[in-house]
Amino acid sequence: MQAIQKIINSKNCSSDTRTLRKNEIFFDLGSKNNKDGDYFFKALKKKPLFIITQNQKRNIPGKNFIIVKNIYTFYVKSISQKFKKKPKYKVAVTGTNGKTSVVFFYYRILNLLGIKVGSIGTLGVFENKKKSKGNLTTPDFFSNHKSLNHFYKKKINHSIIEASSHGLKQSRLEKINFDCGVFTNLTHDHLDYHRTMKDYLNSKLILFKKLIKKNGFLVTGSDAFEFPLLNKISKNKKLKLLSYGRKGNIIKIISIKPDSQFTKLKMNVLGKVHTLKLKLIGNFQIENFLAATLACYSCGISFEKIFRICSRIDNPPGRLQLFKKQNKTVIIDYAHTPDALEKTIIEIQKFFNKKINIVFGCGGDRDHQKRKAMGKIAHKLCNKIYITDDNPRYENARKIRTQIKAGCPNAIVVPSRKQAIKSSISKLNEEILLIAGKGHEEFQLIKNKKIAFSDHYCVTRYLK
């Protein structure tokens, strides 16, 4: 207990040698096997105040060590105590697709209502109208607790975070005690990490089985394949189920219709019919908006207040983001899974009633199985197909392009993403051009280099 008090009283501490500074406390998480790893020696060079370790054999003159029985258990307990104070309402969103949109819509709704709000996710960390960049959908355990504690200190009562399957399985969201959890959907992705869809699903379900407080809320779509399972979990864990969809228990969708550049949504909300005009494209974005609406409702915000400002809500950056110049229309979307790509193309076709041209690639060092599948989807649904590079990382970019082309043999291969966007825009006539896969990202990952690149910048430059 005395050691934990030292952590609580310390100005700063870290488990990452990249952020560790002189005279800070270092958690030697690598010591769980009682071995000296590279990170331990990197930490020593930073001259920490003292090192908390599980290694019983520490014996370095002039260095202060605190030996604990289980380093990770101690780390979780001490960090959750150090950053104990958090916003009153804490929401987490999980699912394959839609997490970023739900978080963005929740954030924007509260922002437009003048309510202080903080969010953590793919687009970065937002504190009211202030933004800082993030590198992960779900940051590490330390960062999450520190950010939520920072929100509390800024008198922010509402917070929302993206909960990735990696983040949930790696316990990055432990000890937060969420008030509400949102489930969007589950489709093919991240099998390079999870290996099986069963493990992928079970990782998502950790949020609802372990991390939401008793009598908290579970928000999901009534049409989701996993709905019966989530309904069962809500009953077992005594969570209040709030659903949207054709058979939603709170929001019943009556109709969704394109209306010029808008979408007209008609729905029954707790017995009362509402018709909204939204600046959103696609049924799934409407569903993401409704998921965010129910998350707000779970925090005590009335539907009337939400519906009053909803016409001012745009799509998130890189999510069905529309660019129009004279007779040319381009849409940027983050769709990087087979399911997301197929749904995005179909929704754009339905909305504009035009043929779709597409520019896309697949990331390297990630799920190989989806590449040919995404090629087949493009082949089936699109007019002209341009295969290009995404984030090849350490993988051979040509090999990735070849695997995609196996599903769409008539596609045009343009390795340079910049050139692919330029060429596809110049040849665009009456079709809609979809640029998929990278969305809001402002870089390309090629081997160990992070090279500045933006689909958004290319579109605004070449769409003339």
pLDDT of 452 higher than 60: yes
Assess whether 6 and 43 both reside in one domain: yes
Per the structure, the count of domains in the chain is 3
Residue from 166, 175, 158 nearest 213 by CA: 175
| 251-259 vs 240-245, strand pairing mode | parallel
Distance CA 107, CA 439 (A): 19
Domain boundary among 254, 277, 312: 312
Domain boundary among 255, 285, 312: 312
Q: Which helix (H) or strand (E) holds 462?
A: helix 455-462
DSSP conformation letters of 139-154: --HHHHHHHHHHHHHT
Given its phi and psi angles, is residue 270 left (phi above 0), alpha (psi -120 to 50 degrees) or beta? left
Q: What is the mean pLDDT of residues 312-322?
A: 91
Assess whether 137 and 30 both reside in one domain: no
Query: Which two structure tokens, joined as six digits, stand for 4?
Result: 């934990």
Distance CA 464, CA 454 (A): 17
pLDDT value of residue 7: 83
pLDDT of 219 higher than 70: yes
Assess whether 94 and 78 both reside in one domain: no
What percentage of the chain carries pLDDT values higher than 90?
73
Domain boundary among 251, 278, 312: 312
Lowest mean pLDDT among 91-105, 129-143, 413-427: 129-143
Distance CA 211, CA 361 (A): 35
Contact 205, 195 (CB under 8 A): no
pLDDT value of residue 296: 98
Interhelix angle for 141-153 vs 71-82, to 10°?
A: 10
Distance CA 72, CA 55 (A): 12
Assess whether 130 and 277 both reside in one domain: yes
Distance CA 299, CA 90 (A): 9
Residue from 151, 135, 145 nearest 174 by CA: 145
Specify the CATH number for the domain of residue 69: 3.40.1390
**Mean pLDDT, all residues of the chain:** 92
Q: What is the mean pLDDT of residues 407-418?
A: 98
Assess whether 69 and 151 both reside in one domain: no
Adjacent-strand bridge partners of 273: 268
Assess whether 107 and 229 both reside in one domain: yes
Assess whether 267 and 152 both reside in one domain: yes
Assess whether 94 and 77 both reside in one domain: no
Sheet-wide strand order for 321-325: 321-325, 328-333, 432-436, 356-360, 385-387, 412-413
Interhelix angle for 2-9 vs 71-82, to 10°?
A: 50
What is the extent of the structural domain holding 402?
Answer: 321-462
Assess whether 233 and 329 both reside in one domain: no
| 449-452 vs 443-446, strand pairing mode | antiparallel
State pLDDT tens for residues 15-63.
888 889 998 999 988 887 666 667 788 888 888 888 888 887 766 766 7
pLDDT of 190 higher than 70: no
The pTM score is 0.87
State pLDDT tens for residues 226-237.
999 999 999 999
Specify the CATH number for the domain of residue 412: 3.90.190.20
Assess whether 367 and 386 both reside in one domain: yes
Contact 357, 428 (CB under 8 A): yes
Sign of the four-CA dihedral 245, 97, 297, 163: positive
Assess whether 69 and 136 both reside in one domain: no
Assess whether 76 and 93 both reside in one domain: no
State pLDDT tens for residues 354-373.
999 999 999 999 889 899 99
CA-derived radius of gyration, the chain: 24
pLDDT value of residue 59: 62
